[in-house]
Homo-oligomer: A and B are copies of this chain.
Amino acid sequence: MTPFSLRRGMATLASLKKAGKVVCIGRNYADHIAELNSARPKQPFFFQKPTSTILLPGEGPVIRPRGVNLHYEVELALILNKRLKDFDPNDEQGALDAIESYALSIDMTARNVQNEAKQKGLPWDISKGFDTFLPLSKPIAKSAIPDPHNIELYLMVNGEVKQQDSTQLMLFRIPRILADISKVMTLEAGDIVLTGTPKGVGPVVPGDVMRAGIRVDGKELEEAKIEVA
């Protein structure tokens, strides 16, 4: 099989780290909002992770900073192929056309740091931004995901299923997400967008093994697998 890095016209592993930015939607699944006692947003809100958080397959473990309550959040990531500015939220086909490929991602979060930031009205950047806080799968060809709003995401810790839900449960779908982000900041080819996490987030400690993946019509996507300590 041709490695992804050699396929013409698709994001390569190396190119992922050169993304101009990584933009992440918060609170995009109702049951996840409930489990964190958060308010349901009237519109998508988002934050950035620096590209220095990216951890590619085989690059080693997620590093837990001292004193941090480290949480996983499995999310579908979009890798864009064009510049978007003031994107039309009703343009379903345009949204799909703007996706170059997909990846599975884990939005690692220092939950205690985030909770303190929320209380004090401070930025989320530290809680979301430590090195290794964004494990990514290989890029996933668009052809492998006929409908990004109808796949199953899962995450297991030490063999136990913690998260497992369909992307059908997204509160704001991809065209709306791209519209709301690009009303604020121009999105560029290569930028990565994380679409939010379903319920089931929780802590991991050093030595735990996270395995995450995507099922399409019940079938596992090999290239979407993440296994990280």
- Chain B nearest CB from A135 CB (Å) reads 16
Contact B119 A184 (CB under 8 A): no
Within 8 A of B (CB), among A112-154: 117-126, 129-131
**Residues of B with C-beta under 8 A to A188:** 52
A4 proximal to B (CB < 8 A)? no
Partner of A121, one of B46, B52, B121, B130: B121
Question: How often does this chain occur in the complex, in copies?
Answer: 2
- With A and B bound together, what is the CA distance between A118 and B52 in angstroms? 26
Contact B130 A184 (CB under 8 A): yes
**Residues of B with C-beta under 8 A to A53:** 185
A6 proximal to B (CB < 8 A)? no
A50-B21, A50-B185, A188-B52 known; A45 vs B121 contact (CB < 8 Å): no
Overall SS of chain A's interface: mixed
Q: A46 — nearest CB in chain B belongs to which residue? A: B125
A118-B121, A121-B121 known; A186 vs B47 contact (CB < 8 Å): no
Contact B120 A123 (CB under 8 A): no
Which A residues contact B (CB, under 8 angstroms)?
Answer: 20-21, 23, 26, 39, 45-48, 50-53, 65, 85, 117-126, 129-131, 184-188
Give 12 new A-B contacts, CB below 8 A, not counting A23-B125, A48-B129, A130-B185.
A20-B51, A45-B126, A46-B125, A47-B123, A48-B48, A48-B50, A50-B185, A52-B185, A65-B184, A118-B122, A121-B121, A124-B124
Q: List 10 A-B contacts (CB under 8 A).
A: A20-B52, A23-B50, A45-B126, A48-B129, A52-B188, A117-B121, A118-B121, A118-B122, A119-B121, A131-B185
